[in-house]
Amino acid sequence: MTVITATATRKGTRPHNADAVMVHRLSGTPMVAAALVDGIGNTDDVVRFSTIAAEVIARIGARRGPMLGILAAAEMAAAPPTEQVDDGVAVAAVTDERTGTTLIAWTGDARIYGWTGEHLVQRSTDQTMGTWLRKWGGTAVTLHRDGRPDETVPTETAALVLDDYARAALGRSSIATVPLCQITDDLVVLTSDGVHGQMPHARLEALVRAHETDPQALADVIVAAARADATGYRDDATAAVIRITT
């Protein structure tokens, strides 16, 4: 088997691109790791944090697995609750070129997808308040928002409001909060929320279907396809693609 990788990133409308992506092949082994970090904030320091964190995750991930890669990078954001430090969300995938299997781990709302040959399936779970509400929120939720009267709305309506509120990030990661699982898809796609948050799933699936045999073309079209919202805001968009061929 052969593992082919590709990455692409595109700055949004803010001054800096706070996303970072890294691929690392561990010399002398069949392990190939990809890591994507979406920094929280938009400063020079956040950019540097994301860049270093992505490299830490990829390098440690190729050696020790994606969960330990994320937990190693999490130490960069460790601080007392009263302190504000640079932080970000992250996903990691480590593919074994011998078996074609991929271990994945994540924290926050960056995503990992697998391509079945027919459908694009989200393999990670968004660690956001929106996701939490969909599972545990019942049928209605009362929203308390500054400067606005309380409003009771259907759970899905509230979840859409809260999808942008991450319940986890590197700085709040532990072995109990970073999911780890194995997937067998021949094509794996990692995205920051500037991708999947700014295009419909059907559009992303169509891009994968059209470019599944060319990882670099796929990564490029994914980040190019993310569109600005109604206010003109466009987030940083980043993707990593892993393709396993026989």
**CATH number reported for the structural domain that contains residue 114 in this entry:** 3.60.40.10
Same structural domain for residues 149 and 39?
no
User: Distance between CA atoms of 103 and 30, rounded to whole angstroms?
Assistant: 13
Same structural domain for residues 6 and 58?
yes
User: Distance between CA atoms of 216 and 194, rounded to whole angstroms?
Assistant: 18
Boundary-marking domain end, from 143, 165, 187: 165
Same structural domain for residues 240 and 147?
no
Same structural domain for residues 30 and 100?
yes
pLDDT at 41: 94
Stated pTM of the model: 0.93
Same structural domain for residues 24 and 102?
yes
Same structural domain for residues 80 and 134?
no
In this structure, what are the phi and psi dihedrals at residue 235, rounded to the nearest 5 degrees?
-80, 160
User: With contact defined as beta carbons under 8 Å apart, do 69 and 57 qualify?
Assistant: yes
Same structural domain for residues 117 and 159?
no
pLDDT at 143: 84
Same structural domain for residues 194 and 77?
yes
pLDDT at 63: 98
Residues 6+ apart with CB under 8 A from 40: 18, 46, 86, 87, 88, 89, 166, 169
Each residue's pLDDT expressed in tens, for the chain with a length of 246 residues:
999 999 999 999 999 999 999 999 999 999 999 999 999 999 999 999 999 999 999 999 999 999 999 999 999 998 777 777 789 999 999 999 999 999 999 999 999 999 999 999 999 999 988 888 888 878 888 888 888 888 888 889 888 888 888 889 999 899 999 999 999 999 999 999 999 999 999 999 999 999 999 999 999 999 999 999 989 999 999 999 999 998
Q: Which domain holds residue 97?
A: 2-125+169-245
Residues 6+ apart with CB under 8 A from 134: 155, 156, 159
Boundary-marking domain end, from 116, 140, 165: 165
Q: Which two tokens stand for residue 49?
A: 């944090």
Same structural domain for residues 20 and 116?
yes
Boundary-marking domain end, from 111, 146, 165: 165
Same structural domain for residues 20 and 139?
no
Same structural domain for residues 13 and 90?
yes
pLDDT at 220: 99
Same structural domain for residues 43 and 138?
no
User: With contact defined as beta carbons under 8 Å apart, do 90 and 36 qualify?
Assistant: yes
Question: Number of structural domains, the chain?
Answer: 2
